[in-house]
Structures are given as structure tokens and as C-alpha cells.
Amino acid sequence: MNTSTLARWQPAPALRWIALLLLCAAYLQGGLDKAFDFNAAIAEMQHFGVSPAAPMAAAVIVLELGASLLILTGFYRWLGALALAAFTLFATFLALRFWEMPQPERFMAENAFFEHLGLVGGFLLVAWHDWKARADA
């Protein structure tokens, strides 16, 4: 397989959609969990010092579910991807400050921190690919 063959190869649309679904899975699950247990969502906001807790919990639910739907439907996919990238980056620095933690919590938080940075990179790639596809169309 040479580079021109690789450049022309496109995964099946179903495979692409499944990949996007997997990328959004944590946000769909998190948004639904928060929506179905709003008191727990408020408690989570309070735990991380986010105020006012109830409106912020509602905003996070809308963001997680809404941005995921934008990505999965392809309607303003780039916007949904950038929204989840920004949210994930902010939430990662808020919740996973591993450098302030003792061991063994530090080890787990540091791993999760860098895993979340990987999600940010994935969403940036989705946004870039969507912009490029629109420009090429």
C-alpha cells in the first residue's frame, strides 16, 4: 500500500460514526447521569468549588449532551468538538491537580490528567477535520 492509496482510503461512514460515538461516550454518559441525578450533579459542582452550583450543573449537562449531539449529527461538528475540547481542558485543570496530591492519589490523578489531554487532542482533530472537509467541499 503506497502513500497515494493511503491518502485515498476512507473508512466506512459507520466506522467513522462509531469512532465519534466512542470519543463522546463519557460526555453522553456524564450528561445523562447528571440529568437523571441532578442533586448529585449539584454536589459535584460544590465539591470542586464551582458556584452557583445548580445553574453550572445545568450548563454542564447542556454542554455535554448538546456538544456530543453536534459531533454525532455532523451539524456544526467543529463547534461541538471545540466546546468539548475547551470544557475538558478546563475540567481537567480543575479536578485533576495531581501536582497537589500525595501518593497514591497522585499516581491515579496524573494518569487521568494525561488521558484527558488525549481527549482534548482528539476533539481538536475532529474540529480540524471538519473544517478541512468543509473547505475542500
pLDDT at 13: 85
Radius of gyration of the chain (CA): 17
Nearest alpha-carbon partner for 67 in 78, 56, 58, 54: 78
pLDDT at 9: 63
pLDDT at 4: 61
Per-residue pLDDT tens listing for the chain (137 residues): 565 665 566 668 889 999 999 999 999 999 999 999 999 999 999 999 999 999 999 999 999 999 999 999 999 999 999 999 999 999 999 999 999 999 999 999 999 999 999 999 999 999 999 999 888 87
Nearest alpha-carbon partner for 84 in 51, 119, 53, 54: 119
pLDDT at 51: 96
**CA atoms of 92 and 23, how far apart (whole Å):** 16
Nearest alpha-carbon partner for 74 in 137, 8, 31: 137
Nearest alpha-carbon partner for 117 in 106, 105, 109: 109
3-class DSSP assignment, residue 2: coil
pLDDT at 7: 58
Crossing angle of helices 105-136 and 13-36, in 10° steps, is: 130
pLDDT at 2: 60
pLDDT at 89: 98
